[in-house]
């Protein structure tokens, strides 16, 4: 059983025996009553969303999700192909399941696959990924007084802001949670 304080962004809970990922949560303290948590949940199987409010007396169950390592193989149309690292079984997710995380995926990259009842339902990216800089404008020396940044494009099409010294062909580490530059390799 989970408590209200465990209802945080990204956690996976079970509602009506189906796995739901918390995509938004707001803790609300009611004047003379107990606290409640308003959540927006995404069904990992169907992709539908649900808004639900939990109080302290609710029984909140953690979903029985298993994690397995898999490699991203390729994208074909709206489908993304992956291969399980243990049994080498291949499976696909559509664009709706991957969403914005597509910009952090490159061929051969290892990800965690979340399975529910032995069926893959979602992926979990590593916190940091290494990507190659595809295009970066030249930085002009003396162009600013503070810590200057510029917009660059990475090999996956992701655009981020980096320090001026980053050039095309460099390898950079990007935080997948915030979408921000971390460091150059």
What is the overall mean pLDDT for the chain?
90
Helix/strand/coil (H, E, C) string of the chain?
CECHHHCCCCCEEEECCEEEEEEEEEEEECCCCCEEEEEEEEECCCCCEEEEEEECCCCEEECCEEEEEEEEEEEECCEEEEEECCCCCEEEEEHHHHHHHHHHCCCCCEEEEEEECCEEEEEECCCEEEEEEEECCCCCCCCCCCCCEEEEEECCCCEEEEECCCCCCCEEEEECCCCCEEEEC
Residue range 7-25: mean pLDDT, rounded: 89
Structure confidence by residue, pLDDT tens digits, 51-83 = 999 988 888 888 889 999 999 999 999 999 999
Predicted TM-score (pTM) of this structure: 0.77
pLDDT in tens, 122-166: 898 999 999 999 999 887 666 556 678 899 999 999 999 999 999
Domain ranges within the chain, ordered by starting residue? 4-62, 66-124, 128-184
Same fold: 4-62 with 66-124:
no
Q: What CATH number does the domain located at 4-62 have?
A: 2.30.30.30
Topology of 128-184 in CATH? OB fold (Dihydrolipoamide Acetyltransferase, E2P) (2.40.50)
* Residue range 66-124 in CATH 2.40.50.140: yes
């Amino acid at each position: 059983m989970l408590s209200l304080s465990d209802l945080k962004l990204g956690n996976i809970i079970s509602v009506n025996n189906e796995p739901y990922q918390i995509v938004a949560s707001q803790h609300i303290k009611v004047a003379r009553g107990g606290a409640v948590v308003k959540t927006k949940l995404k069904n990992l199987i169907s992709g539908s969303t649900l808004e639900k409010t939990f109080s302290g007396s609710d029984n909140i169950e953690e979903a029985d999700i298993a994690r397995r390592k898999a490699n991203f193989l390729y994208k074909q149309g709206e489908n993304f192909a992956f291969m399980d690292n243990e049994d080498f079984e291949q499976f696909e997710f559509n664009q709706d399941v991957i969403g914005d995380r597509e910009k952090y995926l490159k061929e051969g990259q290892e990800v965690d696959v979340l399975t529910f009842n032995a069926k893959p339902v979602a992926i979990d990216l590593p916190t940091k990924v290494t990507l190659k800089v595809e295009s970066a404008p030249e930085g002009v020396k003396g162009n600013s007084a503070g810590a200057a940044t510029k917009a660059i494009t990475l090999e996956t099409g992701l655009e981020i802001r980096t320090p001026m010294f980053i050039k095309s062909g460099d390898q950079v580490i990007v935080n997948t949670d915030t979408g921000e530059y971390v460091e150059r390799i």
